Every structure is written in structure tokens, then in C-alpha cells.
Amino acid sequence: MKVSSIPSILLVSMILLPVSVSEVLGTLQPKVEILYPPDNAILYNQTVVVTGYASSRESNLTLMIWSVEGEIGSYTRNSTIDPPTRFMNFMIPVSLFPGRNIITVTFIDECHLEGSDSVLVLYVSNTPPSIPGKPSGPTSGEVGVTYRYTTNTSDPDGDRVRYGWDWNGDNIVDEWSEFLESGSLCSTSHTWSEEGVYHVKVKAQDEYGLESGWSENLTVTIVSSANQPPFTPTITGPTTGRVGNRYEYTFNAVDPEGDKIYYYIDWGDNTSSGWIGPYSSGEDVIVSHSFSVQGTYTVRAKARDVSGAESNWGELVVTMPYYVYLQSLLRNSIFTRFLVLLGDMR
């Protein structure tokens, strides 16, 4: 090559010359600065819009030259500045070569002084993921209940992808999944807090940031939450008593919606009330019962509203027969025997 035949000392001085001119002339040279892309940027689009500005203190800028020097090719373009100006912003769309590219922008002024700026960028060829499939999952549901939706897509480059869900149809991603292997199923759950008709859609983004378009909508109708069961009933009444005596027990449950309530009482002695009612929500329901055998019983009651929603069990532990138990204690005591003896003497 011709360049190699030039004595190396001359080559050095040729390289140093513009620097020394720059130092001597300083501000006279056009000043050029590339603002975008930044030096060492990694770009995934073949076309990049190079932006920046150029200025000249002493004379007008007349010519703009830009060049792209890649690993497998290079090109240079230019454009005259008409009318010539002291300052201008530039936006130059340039096409990159795969791999490393040096982008240089040069301005020349009326005095034939030139100034330039360069950036080194890496262009990684990339294709966005394909549009994900229409979300699959329930199309109706209730407020506060969690539902699961699935979709999937693939990336032509085999890149990992993450999925951006738009749960409310406003074209804004509300939730991103983790990055998943290209082609694998994405399963995400969602809970709506208000009733309404929602258009659920999803898009995919590869690990280099390229995004697909939106999927088809899945329309989901969410209604207000279902009927709530009554709260657990309270049970009040005597916890000790005498076998064979009837005692009154009070049952009370409240339904969140104020629904009328049925009660089921399990007396703990293998008898039950069956379903009784309906009664008003919060109304005291008094039911009497007698226990025929001595022992400790767990009285349980549950409430059911008119729509069939059942509460948890309420409980009250009852000991029977307190009185008879005391009597038998007395019977076995010396004191009782004495009384019995007295009785026998009569």
C-alpha cells in the first residue's frame, strides 16, 4: 500500500498536524459534538439517527460530511449547508454495518477549516419477538378473586423474552413477567379490585429491549364479589346445669349483607336442631334444650344465609349435671353418711 511506503516519522507528523493546528487556531476551527449515540453504544437497530451540533466562531459552516466505517465496509456522504450558518443542530439517519462502526461527522467552514467528532458503536443485529398469542384464561369473574392467564411467543433470534401484561386495556404495561426462554409458556395471575369489562392484552420484549406489538384482546367481565356468609354465631347460656332440666341458649349471627339467617345447632349429645329459621340478621334466637345424660358437651351452631352461604361453627362447652355431681359427692362424704345415719335413727 502507498501509506506503508511513507516514512513513519512523516506519518506521525501528519497525524499530529491537525492537533497542532487545533491548538494554535483553537476556537477558529468549527466545533462539532455528537450527542447521540453515545460512544461505545450497543445498538440493535440497523439505522440510527445521529444527533448533535456544530458551531463556528469566525466564519459560516458550509459543508457537512458524515462517514460510517464498519468492519465489512464504509461510506461517506456529504451535504452543503445552505444558507451557510454559524451554528446548527444536525440529525443524520445513518445505516450501520454489523459489528463495530466508527461514525464521524465533520463540518467545514468558509475558511476551509474543519472540525469533527466521532463515536464508536456496536450494531448487534436483532429482530423483535413475534406478537404473543391472545391471552388464554377466564373471561368472567369476581372482584377480589385471582385468575390465571397464559400466553406465549417466540423470538426469531431465540432470545429470551419477557411478557408485558396490560390488564385494563389502556395500552400501558401494568406488569412484566420474568425473562423466559423463547417459546415457553408465560402464566401470570391477576386480581381486579373493581368491577368492569377489561380488555386484557400482552406484548413481548426480548432481552435486548426490542418489543413485539400487542396481542389480540381477551375481554374479561368482572362483577362485584359474591354473597358473603354470615359471621360465626355466638352462643350464650348456662354452662353448667342439671340433667333433665331445660335451659335456654341464645344464638346470634350477623350476615354482612343483612340477609336472613338459618341456624343449625348441634347440641353435642348426638341431637341437633336441624335447620331452623329464617331469622333476621343479628336477631337473638333462643332455643331450649335438656341434656339427659351426665357429661361435658360442646354445643355448636352454624349460620346459613338465604343464599346458602354457611358460616363457621360457633361453640360453647356445657357441663352437665353439675347438681347431680355435687349430690353424689355429698353422698360419699362422711358428713352425708352421718346424715344418713340420722335418717336411719328416725
Residue numbers of the site for Ca ion (CB under 5 A)?
126-127, 155, 157, 159, 166, 168, 170, 172, 174, 206, 227-228, 255, 257, 259, 305
CB-nearer residue toward Ca ion: 157 or 315: 157
CB-nearer residue toward Ca ion: 81 or 309: 309
CB-nearer residue toward Ca ion: 174 or 248: 174
Q: Can you give the C-alpha Rg of the chain in angstroms?
A: 44
**Shortest distance, CB of residue 141 to Ca ion, whole angstroms?**
18
**Shortest distance, CB of residue 265 to Ca ion, whole angstroms?**
20
**Shortest distance, CB of residue 310 to Ca ion, whole angstroms?**
10
CB-based contacts of 170, cutoff 8 Å, min separation 6: none
Whether the link from the prior residue into 37 is cis, omega within 30° of 0, is yes
CB-nearer residue toward Ca ion: 23 or 170: 170
**Shortest distance, CB of residue 89 to Ca ion, whole angstroms?**
32
**Shortest distance, CB of residue 157 to Ca ion, whole angstroms?**
4
**Shortest distance, CB of residue 71 to Ca ion, whole angstroms?**
21
Q: What is the distance between the alpha carbons of residues 166 and 35, in angstroms, rounded to a whole number? A: 34
CB-nearer residue toward Ca ion: 192 or 267: 192
Task: Kindly state the cell numbers that stand for 149.
Answer: 392467564
Find the Cα–Cα–Cα–Cα dihedral 167, 170, 171, 176, rounded to 10°: -30
**Shortest distance, CB of residue 87 to Ca ion, whole angstroms?**
40
CB-nearer residue toward Ca ion: 117 or 159: 159
In this structure, the strands spanning 218-223 and 140-142 are: parallel
CB-nearer residue toward Ca ion: 42 or 326: 42
- Of residues 122, 116, 127, 58, the one with CA closest to residue 92: 116
Task: Kindly state the cell numbers that stand for 140.
Answer: 368472567
